[in-house]
Structure 1
Amino acid sequence: MQAFWDQILDFSQTITTEVGAKLLAAFGGAHAEEKSDGSLVTEFDKWSDERLRTAIHDAFPDHGVLSEETTHVFPDTDWCWIIDPIDGTTNFTQGIPLWAVSLGLLYRGTPVFGYIYLPTLNQRFHGYWPGTSGLDLPIGAFLNDKPIQVRPDDPGKNQFFSLCARSTDVLKQSFPCKVRMLGVATYNLLIVAAGYAIGAVEATPKVWDIAGIWPIVHAAGATWISLDDKPPFPLTVGENYEKRPFPTLLLNRADLVEQFRPLVQVVVGDRSSKR
């Protein structure tokens, strides 16, 4: 089984390096179109999507694929990759050097491996987390191959908490941390796993925003709260995930949920008016 996971990691590093190199060459100069949900897409999102799907099919022909740009229905396969070809397309088109390529590998509907590459930062996150899968895999979370974990700190005015663009109503009340907004859903949550922030919230992430980071943040010791009380995983075979949001609160410690959930729960009630 270790050989399989070595293959998965090597494949993820190789294909994201290839895709990242082309995206870096186009960074800041891509023309974007607006999709029906108001988000942006470029020709490079589409190219990256196609390249990733083709590479997965060639390397793992029995694995399914679910993608932001093309296939949104979860397939009837034991193994499925969920890909986000460019997370942070708006940053990518506007020349802001913070965007990512995201891969998540699911076993029977639950992510067990994730790989996130931020080419402009030369940061590569990956992690393994079996959850309830029963798989024998090397549990751990890593940034550039070095182990990472959440920081144990208490909230404070010099501690970071990350918001998304649809969660700014949180600031209509007193908030116990410094706020940051990054424009990249994966990185927004990964900074908790890396120990840079003690918490983060995403109001409307889609499955391709969270599948890759799910194993990483859990292996790093973070606490994941589904703000709509609907567990994200396992996914359901045959269901279309194009429009389903997964409002999420991520914290460095479970004992802080009681303090922070009431402060961020507003993002669930207000999310429909902010799309």
Structure 2
Amino acid sequence: MSTSPDWTRFEAFARALTARVGERLLAFGDAAVEQKADGSLVTEADLWADGEIRAAIAAEFPEHGVITEETEHLFSGTEWCWVVDPIDGTTNFTRGIPIWGTSMGLLYCGTPVFGLVHFPPLQQTFHGIWIGDSGLDGQSGAFLNGKPIRTSPDEPSSNHLFNACTRSTSVLQPSLPCKSRVVGVCTYSFLLVATGAVLAAVEAIPKVWDIAATWAILQAAGGTFEQLGSEPVFPLQTGRDYGSQALPSLVASRPAVATVFAPLVESVWKNSRF
């Protein structure tokens, strides 16, 4: 494929698809809930959304690969690959808490270059293009409802926020230089860093579909993404099954802020054997 992708086409497709799926999810009503082997929840709404999104990608981009939370976990090595979380925040979705959304990241040669995350109850849509060292033509940028967003230039203080996950609060609380919050939805937790509302965030056991879209958006907004562990997240490896691989991650508004929090969250990945 040309090194000049049609970014407008990618955005329009993901925006229209997540809006259509989101509208249906808002009207889904009570959905049967099951617990998966890893302890997370899945509903008939997740499975319906997964099927709708995979079918739409196959129709619009038949040459693209797909990884989704509910069905496709193997990276086939295609030049372009969508990584999808049909409902990030399924627990919130089942309990009527209005923070959940659909995440779509697009990988080029195994690394995210585009992301869009739509949160139907909040009517918020984040998207971004991250050129990085991909060699693709285009301009990096991050947006919320079409308006540019940037990470905060501030230094950590007691008047700033840090997003923890439920598995990291006990580790961080004693020495944390900021007030902490637990959002409960990985993509939204990370994207609040992209908007400048939060300085940094950690997740102990995210999967690739939790971070692919936010990887692109956060970096396009000026932030940094740190893998907590010895192996980098991207590029994905051809033939690897990412279904059970936890990818503990720290995101921050800029590298200097990441160095403040990195020692505090070091034990998060060591205690996350999933």
Q: TM-score range by the shorter chain?
A: over 0.9
Q: Name the amino acid aligned to 2:241.
A: N
Distance of 2:24 and 2:205 partners within structure 1: 29
Structure 1 residue 171 displacement after superposition: 3.5
- Asked if the contact 2:74–2:240 (Cα under 8 Å) also holds between the matched residues in 1, the reply is yes
Q: Which residue of 2 aligns with 1:142?
A: 143
2:11 match: 9
SS of the residue corresponding to residue 183 of structure 1 reads: coil
Tell me what 1:200 maps to: 201
State the partner residue of 2:23.
21
Deviation (angstroms), 1:156: 1.1
Superposition deviation, residue 30 in structure 1: 2.2
Matched residues in 2 for 1:202 and 1:264: separation?
10
Q: Aligned AA for 2:74?
A: V
Listed as ranges, the matches of 1:216-227 within 5 Å are 216-227=217-228
Which amino acid in the other structure matches residue 175 of structure 2? Answer: S
Q: Report deviation, 1:76.
A: 2.7
Query: What is aligned with 1:242?
Result: 243
Q: Is the 8 A contact 1:31 1:93 kept in 2?
A: no
Aligned pairs, how many?
272
Structure 1 residue 259: Cα displacement: 2.0
Letter in 1 for 2:17: I
* TM-score, normalised via structure 1 length: 0.96
> Which residue of the partner structure matches residue 255 of structure 1?
256
Moved more, 254-263 or 91-100: 254-263
- 90-99 or 172-181, larger mean C-alpha shift: 172-181
Q: Deviation per CA, 1:148-178, whole angstroms, max 9, x where unpaired?
A: 0001111111111001112122235221111
Question: In structure 2, the residue corresponding to 1:155 is in which secondary structure?
Answer: coil
After superposition, give the CA deviation of every residue in 1:36-86 in whole Å (9 maximum; x if it has no partner): 000000000000000000000000111110110001000131110000000
User: Match of 1:102?
Assistant: 103
Aligned positions of 1:1-275 closer than 5 A: 4-26=6-28, 29-272=30-273
Letter in 2 for 1:126: H
Partner Cα separation in structure 1 for residue 125 and residue 71 of structure 2: 25
Q: CA deviation at 1:139?
A: 1.0
1:144 maps to a residue whose letter is: N
Cα distance in 2 for residues equivalent to 1:231 and 1:133: 16
Amino acid corresponding to residue 119 of structure 1 in structure 2: P
SS of the residue corresponding to residue 215 of structure 1 reads: helix
Name the aligned partner's letter for residue 203 of structure 1: A
Q: Offset of 1:24 from its aligned partner? A: 0.7
Residue 6 of structure 1, CA deviation: 1.1
| 1:131 counterpart letter in structure 2 | G
Tell me which moved more, 195-204 or 245-254.
245-254
How far apart, CA to CA, are the structure 1 residues paired with 2:54 and 2:174? 44
Specify every segment of 5 or more residues in structure 1 that has no aligned partner in the other structure, as ranges. none
Distance 2:183 2:31 in 1: 20
CA contact (8 A) 2:224 2:252 kept: yes
8 Å contact from structure 1 (residues 202, 247) kept in 2: yes
RMSD (Å), alpha carbons: 1.4
2:77–2:110: 8 Å Cα contact kept in structure 1? no
- Asked whether the 8 Å contact 2:229–2:248 carries over to 1, the reply is yes
1:243 is paired with a residue of what secondary structure? Answer: coil
Q: Report percent identity of matched pairs.
A: 51
Question: For the structure 1 residues 103 and 80, does the alpha-carbon distance in structure 2 shift closer, same or farther, using more than 3 Å as the test?
Answer: same
- Higher mean C-alpha displacement, 173-182 vs 54-63: 173-182
Write the deviation string for residues 108-161 of structure 1: whole angstroms up to 9, x where unpaired.
101100000000110000000122210002310000010000011111111110
Gaps of 5+ in 2: none
Instruction: Determine if contact 1:81/1:105 at 8 Å carries over to the other structure.
Output: yes
Offset at 1:2? 6.7
